Amino acid sequence: MPPRLTAYNDLVPMRAFSTTALRLRHQALTALLLGVTMTSVGCKHAAAPTTSTAGSPAAAPVVDPATAGSISGTVHFDGKAPAPVAIDMSMDPACAMSATPNNSEQIVVANHALANVYVYVKSGIPASAAPAGTAPVVLDQKGCRYVPHVIALQQGGSVEFHNSDPTMHNIHTTPTDGTASVDVSQSPMGAPQTQKFDKPETMLPVRCNNHPWMNSFINVAPNPYFAVTGADGSFTLKNLPPGTYTVAAVHETLGEQDIQVTVPAKATAPAAFTFAAK
């Protein structure tokens, strides 16, 4: 086995150096040091590439409060609304003991106003994600029903599922495109479970595998301008920059309607939708 070299001196013996030998030794040392330097430079790691966010929603645009306006209106119902249908919950004694009457919520009308309609700005403003730290929207299971029946949140936000009942429940979303699927069970009065939703969804159905009559709908807006109508059918979309927007109103069985609304500076633009009985 050849001897291991431990230093540059091992390469060139110290004895009998002539001027030429010294010069050669100096040149060799210079070349060696240059090679080490080049190797060190070559081994430097390039900065890690930034992960591409192409197609990802950005932060919401800054809105000037001095010029911001809003959209406010009502969703009406034309015709005779179907009577609520009482739901038999006797298959589960814990549900049958509920003090809250459990009626169908497909079409909820009072004074010709339609509740549970998801209203949002469909176009006219860039898509954006919910700011970090945004509180989750709560969907409870109470009295063997989902409460509220319809909820909405901004993409990038979360839903916190609760179970306030003394019975096992299940949260099962059934998206038509196979995304945003959730299928989790919750023990009686168990700990909340949180699910993030990263892409827009319209009337995403939620079902309980344990109680087939339970249903609800989750809507995920592409921007912060959305609402769900209450019993009076009203809605308000605040803090909009002046401009023209497409506003959509979506109902779980009656479909979708789109209208154009122009928001003036420092003013509220009216908007109204009317759905008719099928």
DSSP, residue by residue, 113-174: EE-S-EEEEEESS--BPPPTTPPPEEEEE-SSSEESSEEEEETTEEEEE---SSS-EEEEE-
d(CA 102, CA 95): 10
Handedness of CA 146, 222, 130, 185 (dihedral sign): positive
Give the model's confidence band at 226: pLDDT under 50 very low, under 70 low, under 90 confident, else very high. very high
**Fold adopted by 72-276:** Immunoglobulin-like (2.60.40)
Give the model's confidence band at 9: pLDDT under 50 very low, under 70 low, under 90 confident, else very high. very low
Residues 6+ apart with CB under 8 A from 269: 69, 70, 71, 72, 261, 262, 263
Which pLDDT value is given to residue 146? 96
* Helix, strand or coil, per DSSP, at residue 185: strand
Give tens-digit pLDDT for 30-51: 443 334 333 333 333 333 322 2
Question: Once rounded to an integer, what is the mean pLDDT over residues 41-65?
Answer: 50
Contact by Cβ (8 Å): 236, 259: no
d(CA 232, CA 217): 19
Give tens-digit pLDDT for 102-120: 899 999 999 999 999 999 9
Give the model's confidence band at 123: pLDDT under 50 very low, under 70 low, under 90 confident, else very high. very high
Query: Quick one: DSSP state of residue 278?
Result: -
Contact by Cβ (8 Å): 255, 274: no
Contact by Cβ (8 Å): 218, 201: yes
Which pLDDT value is given to residue 176? 75
Other C-beta atoms lying within 10 Å of the C-beta of residue 95: 23
d(CA 155, CA 160): 14
Domain with CATH 2.60.40.420 in the chain: 72-276
Bond from prior residue into 148 cis (ω within 30 degrees of 0): yes
77 DSSP β-pair partners: 275
Query: Quick one: DSSP state of residue 10?
Result: G
Give tens-digit pLDDT for 12-29: 333 333 444 434 444 443
pTM (predicted TM-score): 0.78
Q: What is the CA radius of gyration of the chain?
A: 33
d(CA 57, CA 167): 39
Region at 103 (left for phi over 0; alpha for psi -120 to 50; beta for the rest):
beta
Q: Is the pLDDT of residue 155 over 80?
A: yes
